[in-house]
Amino acid sequence: MLKFFNKYNFSFNYDLGSKTWFGTGGKCLCYITSDSESVIRITLKYLKKIFPVFIIGAGSNLIVRDGGINGIVIKLGKAFSKITLYKKKSILEIGGSAKDYQISKFCLENNITGFEFLSGIPGTLGGNLKMNAGCYGQEICDNFLECVVINSKGKKVLKKKDDISFGYRSSTLGDDIVISAKFRVIYDKKKKINDKIKTIIKDRKKSQPFGVRTGGSTFSNPKNNSAWKLIDAIKYRGKTSGGAKVSEYHSNFLLNSNSATSLDLELLGEDIRTKVWDKYKIKLEWEIVRIGKHKKI
């Protein structure tokens, strides 16, 4: 087992918080960026019996709690970021670690529509599928056909679209690690695709915080309502708590505005949830994933 760790350069007592967009949180017991399926499979098959195992993508919608994680964290490496277009079959295959802007750019260059919305999301393909990412009337599941995953037991499995249930910001992929996925290809004029991407980027810059430490949308939109409208209704736009702040540009975004801790961010989020429930009896659900344990005082 020691040879296994040495061969693949596992990092111990790693500052996992630095891998998130918020830049907050504690350390993990062991961290690896893996370009090998076998490493992932061995880790899940054997090491998961001893330690909890987590997978992270871009870290854009993640809070690592200040007490860190007594477990192993895997990040898919560049080997899993390949994007391939099979023109004869009109199929697009995308690696699990491919970044959203890379996918959007590739599709633009190849006149493929249906992925323009990814230019407005800071994530990776694997994370997109697991949470069924979407915006501007599009979702990642729209043209999805199948994906290859490594399940929690370390087994490589092919899952068709009918094997997975997709909902609003959710899927039944659970703990599966998405290695790659295939999508149906729909072509359109490059100018039309490019115009849509430009509009999305322009709208995003107008309405969302840039150049600051933030995450993705904090809460999922409740049915027939918008999270930001509810947060505005309780007058929390610009609200601060410790080093955490509700964005003044878009109130469904939290900011690390002044050396915030993960606890600052989570407490502010929970305060919002409590106030919205007390006033409107609407339960806001976290869209940002929170992992790890709280730091002992």
Q: Name, in order, each residue with C-beta under 8 angstroms of 216's C-beta and a sequence gap of 6 or more.
A: 60, 61, 121, 122, 123, 253, 287, 288
Spatial separation of the C-alpha atoms in residues 293 and 296, rounded to whole Å? 9
- Cα distance between residue 181 and residue 92, in whole Å: 8
Catalytic-labelled residue, pool 104, 217, 241, 262: 217
Cβ pair 54, 34 in contact under 8 A: no
Of 93, 139, 266, 287, which residue is the catalytic one?
287
Q: How far is CA 65 from CA 250, 264, 289, in A?
A: 24, 10, 10
Q: Which of 169, 184, 237, 290 is catalytic?
A: 169
Contacts of 93 (CB under 8 A, 6+ apart): 82, 83, 84, 85, 86, 180, 181, 182, 183
Q: Say if residue 247 is exposed, middle or buried (CB neighbours under 10 Å; 0-12, 13-18, 19+).
A: buried
Does residue 217 carry a catalytic annotation? yes
Candidates 127, 130, 97, 103; CA nearest to 117 is 103
Pick from 139, 16, 155, 142: nearest CA to 73:
16
Report the distance separating Cα 243 and Cα 263, nearest Å: 10
Could you please report the per-residue DSSP string of 219-262? BPPPTTS-HHHHHHHTT-TT-EETTEEE-SS-TT-EEE-SS--H
Q: Rounded distance, CA 46 to CA 152, Å? A: 10
What is each CA distance from 154 to 44, 173, 194, 276, in whole angstroms? Answer: 5, 14, 40, 41
Residues belonging to the active site: 169, 217, 287
